[in-house]
Amino acid sequence: ARDRAGRGEDPRATLREAVADHTEAIARGAEEGDARVNRATTWFWLGEHEGQRGGDPREAFRQAIADLDEVLRRDAGNGPGWSTRAAGRTALATAEAARGGDPEPIFAAALKDYAEAARLMPGDPAIPSNRGIAWVRRAEAEAARGDDPRLAYGEALAGFAEALARNPRYLEARTPR
C-alpha cells in the first residue's frame, strides 16, 4: 500500500484488504495485541488516504481508536499504544473540525493519552513532539472557528522545546508536519 501511494496510486483497496487480513488473524487467535496494533495502524493509514482523496476519514480513525482501546484495556502499560491512540484521536479531531463538528472533547482525550504515554516513556522525545503537533491542530481548529489560538500555539511550542531538550537532534520537533 505504501509503494502504491508513493507512486501516486490509490492504496485504499489494498489497505481494506489488509484490514480484512488482520481481522481474520485476530479471529484465528493471532497474537492479540500485535494483530490489533497492526490493524489499528492500517485503519489509520486508510483514514489518511481517504482524507487525502476528499473522502471522510473519520470512520477509519474511529476503528483505529477502537482497536487501540482494546489493546490498552488488555495492557494499560503499553506506552506506544497510548501514543498511537493519541495520534489517532488527533487525526479524528482534526477531521471532525474540518467537517464542522466539535473537536474539543477528542483533542482533550488525545492530550490525556499523550500524558499517559509520557508517564510510561519519560525520555522519549516523540511524545512531547507529537503532543506539540496535537496542540498545533487544536490551535488551527480554534482559529478556524474564530477563537484565540495563542494558548494552544504556546503549548505546541512548549512540546517541541521539550522534545529538543530531550534530544537536540530530534528532527520531528524541528519540522512538525
Model pLDDT for residues 136-150, shown as the tens digit of each residue: 999 999 999 999 999
Rounded Cα distance, 87 and 91, in Å: 6
pTM for this one? Answer: 0.89
Residue 170, phi then psi, degrees to nearest 5:
-70, 105
62 band by pLDDT with thresholds 50, 70 and 90: very high
Instruction: State yes or no: pLDDT of 8 exceeds 80.
Output: no
30 band by pLDDT with thresholds 50, 70 and 90: confident
Instruction: State yes or no: pLDDT of 92 exceeds 90.
Output: yes
| Residue recorded with cell 507529537 | 130
Nearest to 153 by CA among 142, 164, 169, 168: 142
What pLDDT was estimated at residue 70?
94
What pLDDT was estimated at residue 104?
97
Return the percentage of the chain with pLDDT > 90, whole number: 84
What pLDDT was estimated at residue 34?
83
81/170: higher pLDDT: 81
Instruction: State yes or no: pLDDT of 6 exceeds 90.
Output: no
What pLDDT was estimated at residue 2?
57
177 band by pLDDT with thresholds 50, 70 and 90: low
- Residue 84's identity, in one-letter code, is T
Give the pLDDT mean for 162-174. Answer: 83
